[in-house]
Structure 1
Amino acid sequence: MTAGSIIVAVTYGDLADGNEGSYLACAHVLADLVQHIVTPKKAAMFTTFPFLEKLPSWCFSAHSLIGHSRELSQHLLNEPFNEVKAQVANGTASRSLITDFLSQPHDDADKDIMKPVAFTVYMAGMETSATILQTFLLAMVLYPDVQVRARAEIDQVVRHDKMPCLNDRASLPYLDAILCEVMRWYPPTPLGVAHATANDDIYDGHSIPKGTIVMVNQWALSRDEDIFPDASRFDPSCHLTVDRKLKNPFINHFAFGHGRCICPGRWFVEYSLWTAAASILAVLCIDHAKDSNGNRIEVKPEYTTGSLIRPAPFHCLFESINTAREGHLRAMMNSE
């Protein structure tokens, strides 16, 4: 839940003890429900047969899930916002997206907009960030040579008793390439995020009516052999030039979307994931776990299906390889 905790802190600040965990648990349940309710197949069905939208919800197999998801959505929409509002009133609120909003002149209409904005930031960022970090760990287990090269780059740039920080980033291009490849290898949203056309349009001779659901096939982009030879293999070097420079900035990655609807939180994802990956590689060796008989537990890149994919649960082993950096990391975690 680390990714979710960071996003909660940015969006809502420091919540009361126990409440953050409760909100995170509800959010994970809601995300799983949405995975079952909103699928690419159903989106295509409603686009092809728009009259289905006029049918009552009980006509569909997901009727009970829809009701439960609405309850959870209302809870997550209102409760964290109201808690921060109370903190602002009694002077105990910490800096966050919501406190910045509440400190400015606003009316009820603004509040009705801000609540779903915060909710969307929280829900969208939590699941995708967690998925990207899980894919990173999976890749490090399956491709130890990549892990060794990344750690060698960190050790060459950063003192042995210091943690890598964002000031070191310009000197660590291979780490950036790893994160770009994580997003390419298994994009979190293989068909992108569904959007709808605001007006009637014509593209390449095809008429596209207003309200048509449009999805970008990110999976096809990620498997384009003309750009990514041997696309099923995890290969960060495909994102580097011959002189070891990043070909394209991380925030321009196709996994963030395109145009006006590009992910507004991509800078947050960039910095938080870079910091997490750099810290993990600087301190820990990630390897295959072993069973009770000492045999290596094999791992395969198996993923769930749906609008958002994530790695199936897998076993791995973390081993500290730098006690000095481990001490710095523990001190930072304890200070928070």
Structure 2
Amino acid sequence: MLLYISTAVLALLALAWTYTSLQHPRRKYPPGPKGLPIVGNLFDVPMKNGWITFCDWSRRYNSDVVHVEALGKHIYAVNSAQAAKDLFDGRPQIYSDKEQSVMTHELSGWRRAWALSPFDDVWREHRRLFHKHFGPGVASRHHHKQEKAMRRLLLLLLDAPEDFSAHIRYAAGSVILDVVYAFDALPGDVRIGQIEPAVQTFTALMETGVYLVDVFPILKYIPAWFPGAQFKRQAAQYKHLVDVMFKAPYEQFKAAWAKGVAQPCFLGSLLGDSEMALDYEREDFLTNLTGTVYAAGSDTTVAAMNTFVLAMVMYPEVQTYVQEELDRVVGRDHLPTMSDRERLPRVMAIVHEVLRWHPPLPLATPHRTMSDDVYNGRFIPSGSVIFGNSWAMLHDPATYPAPHTFDPKRFLTRSGVLRDDVPLPTEVFGFGRRACPGRYFAVDMLFLAVAHILAVFAVERAKGARGPVDVKEEFTPYVLSLPKPFRAHFWPRFDGAEELIRSAAAADM
């Protein structure tokens, strides 16, 4: 039975390839590996560490944009900041859409994530409301909640430093819950536990790549019990996790709102500003808007904060350099706040270098072209998938010498102020009109994490039976890329640090 199905699929692909070849004249595409008949570059498309593969192709073919074609789908990777600016910023009417997958968006429930939705009026309304509450002019309204989360993180690191990665996940999840829903989540809160398994479904979908149902959408109508319909059963499991992550906190806040006991937050502002009755359609809109903040903001922050810890373990001299600034500017009798940011350029240099050294999304989520285009004489057809290779741009040796080395000083002048002639790593937040609108919140969060941790702790390699445990620069090879599990230890670095941590955390309990 499976043999017949496979034969039929190959026959259909062959017919589709033949038809496409006859209907469309040969075009001059950007360079890339030579494909095979029918399947094209199906076996060339990288499923792991794609940012490195695309960067290597860019060098091999001496082209900022590289191209492959798989099963009739054109795939492009943009590997230079200039090409990204030309295409994503310069031609937003073509490059602002997002690729949609039957398996990911429709069957597995990720249509709820408006950051991944098509470039339409619904997306524009989502982004307008988000920017209204998280844009640069209003980011300060969230600082007190971000600072509270960091003070709690310090206490957890003091009492159980070996579990630092779990503590980071708690801190990132708790501040999102607080800002979006006004939930004061303590460690172990089940709502934070809802984030990881749901987000892991997206990672798993991206790791798998193209499902057969994406090639032949009619397959979505086969019942889940049908032989070979494992993808339907898997999608149902994924959709349940995704729906819970989006809907559960919304419903809990709505109940508090109805009782008149809800506290100020993002969702409360949305409900208070709304002139519309909360019908089903409007509620679905708000559930998706707030849930996307909850899902996307947490995991990327976790990845960046773990990368920071890894860098501190591997480059202890950087700690000493930054701690000298913290002691001089802030002192040792209180913790840093956002008001100290302008006076802490070394801390900000670490923030920039963490994002540049290994961005949480090395390949920004794929865009989709909305019409045909030509760039540098090369054809890019409508409906193509196009990636912005953030990692390649942030590791361009012409812009960032010795790009594989963690060196925050690259962003500083000799006198110790931030340089204005070295580009900040804005590519880490995506491109064009689909750039992450939460980037100001994210940078503030990372600044506070770096400043708080280095103010009171020395971050060191963990001790094993034979001495310090070795740590390597290793990251997971998928869409959301974070350091592979490693060990680290956090030591109070001066007398009085423990008392400072405990008194600051007690004030927030």
TM-score (norm 1): 0.89
Counterpart CA distance in 1 for 2:316 and 2:406 is 11
For residue 153 of structure 1, report the CA deviation from its aligned partner: 0.9
In structure 2, relative to structure 1, the CA distance for the partners of 1:16 and 1:42 (3 Å cut) is closer
* Residue 204 (structure 2) pairs with residue 31 (structure 1): no
Q: Distance in 2 between matches of 1:157 and 1:312?
A: 34
Contact 1:15 / 1:83 at 8 angstroms: preserved in 2? no
Q: Which AA in structure 2 matches 1:42? A: G
Q: Distance in 2 between matches of 1:209 and 1:305?
A: 29
Aligned match of 1:234: 406
Amino acid at match of 1:33: T
**What is the aligned counterpart of 1:129 among 301, 310, 320?**
301
Code of the aligned partner of 1:156? R
Is 2:239 aligned against 1:70? Answer: yes
Residue ranges of structure 2 left out of the alignment (5+ in a row): 1-169
Aligned CA distance change for structure 1 residues 202 and 155 (closer, same or farther; 3 Å): same
Unmatched tracts of structure 1, length 5 or more: none
Specify which of 280, 286, 292 is matched with residue 453 of structure 2: 280
Deviation of 1:205 after TM superposition, in Å, equals 3.2
Deviations 1:112-156 (A, max 9, x none): 222111111111111000010000000000000001101011111
Call closer, same or farther: CA 1:65–1:223 in 2, change over 3 Å. Answer: farther
**Residue 216 (1) aligns with residue 388 (2):** yes
CA contact (8 A) 1:180 1:250 kept: no
Distance 2:325 2:331 in 1: 11
Alpha-carbon distance change, 280 to 113 in structure 1, aligned in 2, over 3 angstroms: same
Q: Distance in 1 between matches of 2:307 and 2:376?
A: 36
- What corresponds to 2:71 in structure 1? none
Q: Structure 1, residues 245-273: CA drift from partner, whole Å, max 9, x if none?
A: 32369986210112211111111111111
Higher Rg? 2
Distance of 2:478 and 2:240 partners within structure 1: 22
Specify the alignment match of 2:440 in structure 1: 267
Which of the residues 38, 51, 56 maps onto 2:215? Answer: 51
**What residue identity is the alignment partner of 1:77?**
F
Contact 2:349 2:412 in 1 (8 A): yes
Q: What is the SS of the residue equivalent to 1:128?
A: helix
User: Which of 270, 276, 285 is the matching residue for 1:106?
Assistant: 276
Q: Secondary structure at the match of 1:215?
A: strand
2:261 aligned partner = 92
Given that residues 37 and 62 in structure 1 are in contact (C-alpha distance below 8 angstroms), is that contact kept between their aligned partners in structure 2?
no
Q: What pairs with 1:163-312 in structure 2 (closer than 5 Å)? A: 163-247=335-419, 253-291=426-464, 293=465, 295-312=467-484
Of stretches 126-135 and 211-220 in structure 1, the one that deviates more from structure 2 is: 211-220
Deviation at 1:332, TM superposition (A): 2.9
CA RMSD of aligned residues (A): 2.6
Give the conservation status (yes or no) of the 8 Å contact 1:85–1:102: no
Q: What fraction of aligned residue pairs are identical, expressed as a percent?
A: 31
Tell me the equivalent position of 2:183: 14
Residue number in structure 2 paired with 1:142: 314
- TM-score, length-normalised on structure 2? 0.60
